Amino acid sequence: MAVEIRLPTILRQHAGGQAAVQANGGTLGEVFDDLVRQFPNLAGKIVTDDGSLHKFVNVYVNDDDVRYLDKLDTKVGGDDVVSILPAVAGG
Amino acid sequence: MLRLAPEVHRKVVGHCYDGLPDEACGLLAGPPGTGKASEVYLARNAAASARVYEVDGRDYLRADRDAEARGLEIMGVFHSHTHTEAYPSPTDVAQAPDPSWHYVVVSLKDLPVVRSFRIVDGNIAEEPVVLDGK
């Protein structure tokens, strides 16, 4: 089932300039796999090469930070909206 | 150039004082492509520290949704330096995620100083900050 993924401005250049895209999968990890199949330039930007969430992004399913859910194993369905935002920090 | 609505300027500086002794932070938004910050989203510093800041993720999510609904774009971030100059620290540069953003640093070392920078590939370029009431 397709879910909507909302991309931050810095990643849109890798997805044809789109702010929101659709991808398929039953878990967040599967959805991101499908996203990278559609937009290969997103490889390594959200999920690292070793298969974990990139530490410089925060990912939400609806209102919930997936780090406090099941991370990439978080189940997603048709009405869910996945939001990706850069972690904004400094000194 | 970064143009700040006067109300945004007041809220930014006020939030930085309110955050003492910790660093304070928030996000700037405006009509896409204009370089004008017409709205500011005050955020919690999730790091709760006088030396570093981290925009609270849920505050960012709320800001992003509100901006999107109003046709605005998140265009930058501000944070305070409580005891140092209004200039990006090495940590600020290392963690600057978006070359299109305006990075505003507010120093409270003395009278408040508001400066803005673009950070691209680790290079810092200061830009003028002006108040724009229109």
pLDDT tens-digit profile of B110-119? Answer: 999 999 999 9
Q: What is the mean pLDDT of residues A25-48?
A: 96
State the CB neighbour count (10 A cutoff) for residue B5: 19
CATH, range B2-131: 3.40.140.10
Query: What is the tens place of the pLDDT at every residue in A74-88?
Result: 999 988 999 999 999
Name the DSSP letter for residue B15: H
Q: Which stretches of chain B sit within 8 Å of chain A by CB?
A: 25, 27, 47, 51-55, 57-58, 60-61, 64, 68, 73-74, 77, 79, 88-92, 95-100
Any idea which residue has 């944070």 for tokens?
B79
CATH superfamily, domain at A2-86: Beta-grasp domain (3.10.20.30)
Residue to test with chain B: of A12, A45, A88, most B Cβ within 10 A: A88
Can you give the residue ranges of every domain in chain A? 2-86
pLDDT recorded at residue B134: 63
The pTM for the full model equals 0.91
Q: Which two tokens stand for residue B64?
A: 């992003």
A60/B contact by beta carbon, under 8 A: yes
pLDDT range class, residue B32, cuts 50, 70, 90? very high
- Give the pLDDT confidence score for residue A55 in this predicted structure: 87
